[in-house]
């Protein structure tokens, strides 16, 4: 039995506990939360203009992910919950983006929802057909199974999005590491252009 007086709610029961994790617009906060920062030096190979990447500070954070992992990786039937902050920036003319991946168990889906900023979600099937969905605050995106997913920040602010995915989905980064996505998103003049 958990004992805690809940003064905030003026609640007197000894059976009511605080939640373990809090969700703000920018981060998850709690004891089971895992934080991961992805810096440009780890991601330079994603971008077409390697020379431009190498001239930049490799310590520059490109994105940060907070994940709540309440069950072990690989648990069937469980779920993970994430919050990603993808910073604005360019490598040459190409916008900052996430690595992108398929799931290791290929039929596993995922949700993304945009909290702040603007961007593009790239969705690529196994035949490398790619489609794209605009992200802005309030957009909700279903990523079906068998579909690689990458987020591109096309705005001037940090793009923040939530995510929920099965705890046995796993990650398959290899096809993306080898061949990338079939579409890149570049700034041409003032606008993002896919090609």
Binding footprint of its own copies on the chain (CB under 8 A): 2, 6, 8-13, 15-24, 28, 30, 68, 70-71, 76-79, 81, 105, 107-111, 113, 118, 120, 130-136, 138-142, 144-145, 154, 164-167, 169, 183, 190-194
Main-chain phi, psi angles of 159, to 5 degrees:
-90, 120
Q: Nearer to its own copies by C-beta: 68 or 96?
A: 68
Query: Are 85 and 119 spatial neighbours (Cβ–Cβ below 8 Å)?
Result: no
162/167 Cα distance (integer angstroms): 16
Q: Nearer to its own copies by C-beta: 40 or 159?
A: 159
3-state secondary structure of 189: coil
* Of 165, 39, 189, the residue nearest 104 (C-alpha): 165
Q: What is the smallest separation between the CB atom of 57 and its own copies, expressed in angstroms?
A: 28
* Of 124, 133, 111, 130, the residue nearest 172 (C-alpha): 124
Q: What is the smallest separation between the CB atom of 47 and its own copies, expressed in angstroms?
A: 19
Q: Nearer to its own copies by C-beta: 48 or 177?
A: 48
Q: What is the smallest separation between the CB atom of 42 and its own copies, expressed in angstroms?
A: 27
Q: What is the smallest separation between the CB atom of 178 and its own copies, expressed in angstroms?
A: 23
In our burial notation (b when 16+ CB lie closer than 10 A, e otherwise), range 136-164 reads eeebebebeeebbbbbbbbbeebbbbbbe
* Of 158, 163, 148, 145, the residue nearest 83 (C-alpha): 163
Q: What is the smallest separation between the CB atom of 7 and its own copies, expressed in angstroms?
A: 11
Q: Nearer to its own copies by C-beta: 59 or 190?
A: 190
Q: Nearer to its own copies by C-beta: 98 or 147?
A: 147
Q: Nearer to its own copies by C-beta: 53 or 154?
A: 154
Q: Which residues, other chains included, contact 98 with Cβ-Cβ below 8 Å and sequence gap of 6+?
A: 38, 63, 84, 86, 150, 151
Q: What is the smallest separation between the CB atom of 37 and its own copies, expressed in angstroms?
A: 21
């Amino acid at each position: 039995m958990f004992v805690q007086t809940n003064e905030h709610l003026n609640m007197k029961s000894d059976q009511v506990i605080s939640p373990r994790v809090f969700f703000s617009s920018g981060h998850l906060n709690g004891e089971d939360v895992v934080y991961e920062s992805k810096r440009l030096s780890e991601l330079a190979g994603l971008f077409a203009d390697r020379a431009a990447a190498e001239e930049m500070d490799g310590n520059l954070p490109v994105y940060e992910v907070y994940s709540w992992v309440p069950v072990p990786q690989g648990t069937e039937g469980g779920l993970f919950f994430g919050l990603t902050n993808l910073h604005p920036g360019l490598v040459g003319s190409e916008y900052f983006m996430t690595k992108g991946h398929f799931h290791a168990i290929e039929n596993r889906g995922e949700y993304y929802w945009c909290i702040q900023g603007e961007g593009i979600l790239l969705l690529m099937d196994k035949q490398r057909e790619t489609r794209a969905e605009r992200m802005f605050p309030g957009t909700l995106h279903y990523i079906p199974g068998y579909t690689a997913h990458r987020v591109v920040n096309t705005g001037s602010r940090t793009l923040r999005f939530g995510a929920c995915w099965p705890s046995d989905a796993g990650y398959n980064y290899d096809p993306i590491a080898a061949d990338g996505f079939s579409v890149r998103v570049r700034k041409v003049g003032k606008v993002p252009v896919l090609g």
